[in-house]
Amino acid sequence: MTEEENLIKEVNKEIKQDEYKKLWKKYSKLIIIAIFLIITFVASGTIYKNYKISKFEKQSELYFEALDHLKNENYNEAEKILIKINNLDNGGYSNLSAFNLIDIKSKKNSSIDINKIKLNNNKFLEDFFVLKKFNYLLNNQIDDVSINEIIKISKPKSSWRFTAHELLASYYIEKNDIDNAIQSLNFIIKDPDSPSLMKERVLIILKTLNTTNE
């Protein structure tokens, strides 16, 4: 490389360094702020992630503590813990606690208000929970029962349509509305996807209703 080429190279190098210095002088504050924001964002994400993991682990511990109380039929203590979990309104264990609370309500004279038990934005579970509440109200002969939600769940594309129709049939029989009861039971019989055990149970009920109507 000639001296002239070396000189040109050195000049170019100095020009670039000067440009970098000018850019740094002009944008240094913005660059520092950007780096700070990136570091803060990453750190915040890590802290939040660790917080969620810790919170989930705490819910897990509480839930299994409640299950131990249920196993030992210590329903009062289980109920307190499950209500606490359910009020966290955080999905997962909160949703599981909702079903446990309904079961406790069915087994004992509990002060739980079933209308205050919550589920978190899960249509599949929400429909099942509505059916559980409806079943509780039927079994306890509570008159404050609306069948509108159950009728919605009984629609052909619903995942819980068979259970919904079986509960509707029980409701109609209780109200001595035999025609509608038979209609719901026939839906279960005619649907090729209905569970075999449910069909057997429904056939027995239909036979009893038809005999009664004769």
The model's pLDDT over 95-128, given as tens digits with 9 standing for 90+, comes to 889 889 988 888 777 778 888 888 877 788 889 8
Answer for the pair 123, 95: CB distance below 8 angstroms, yes or no.
no
DSSP 141: T
Q: Find how far residue 67's CA is from the centre of its chain.
A: 19
* Nearest CA-CA partner of 138 in 171, 99, 181: 171
Q: d(Cα 201, Cα 206) in Å, to the nearest integer?
A: 9
Quick one: 87 and 171 in the same domain?
Answer: no
Check whether 14 has a pLDDT greater than 70: no
Structure tokens at 28: 């240094």
Q: Is residue 117 part of a domain?
A: no
**CA atoms within 13 A of residue 4's CA, in its CB half-sphere:** 0
- Report the greatest alpha carbon distance in the chain: 118
Answer for the pair 77, 47: CB distance below 8 angstroms, yes or no.
no
Quick one: 87 and 156 in the same domain?
Answer: no
Q: Which long-range contacts (CB under 8 A, 24 or more apart) does 64-68 make?
A: 66/97, 66/100, 67/100
pLDDT band of 34, cuts 50, 70, 90: confident
pLDDT band of 189, cuts 50, 70, 90: very high
Domain boundary among 45, 77, 112: 112
Quick one: 104 and 135 in the same domain?
Answer: no
Quick one: 188 and 207 in the same domain?
Answer: yes
Check whether 55 has a pLDDT greater than 70: no
Quick one: 166 and 208 in the same domain?
Answer: yes
- The pLDDT of residue 183: 94
Structural domain containing residue 175: 122-214
Phi, psi angles (nearest 5°) of residue 170: -60, -40
Quick one: 95 and 190 in the same domain?
Answer: no
- Among 21-35, 38-52, 102-116, 177-191, name the most confident range: 177-191
Tell me the CA distances in angstroms from 147 to 88, 139, 171, 172, 212, one per residue in order.
Answer: 29, 15, 9, 10, 25
Q: For residue range 159-184, what is the model confidence (pLDDT) as tens digits?
A: 999 999 999 999 999 889 999 999 99
Quick one: 96 and 158 in the same domain?
Answer: no
Answer for the pair 167, 138: CB distance below 8 angstroms, yes or no.
yes
Where is average pLDDT lowest: 25-39, 51-65, 108-122? 25-39
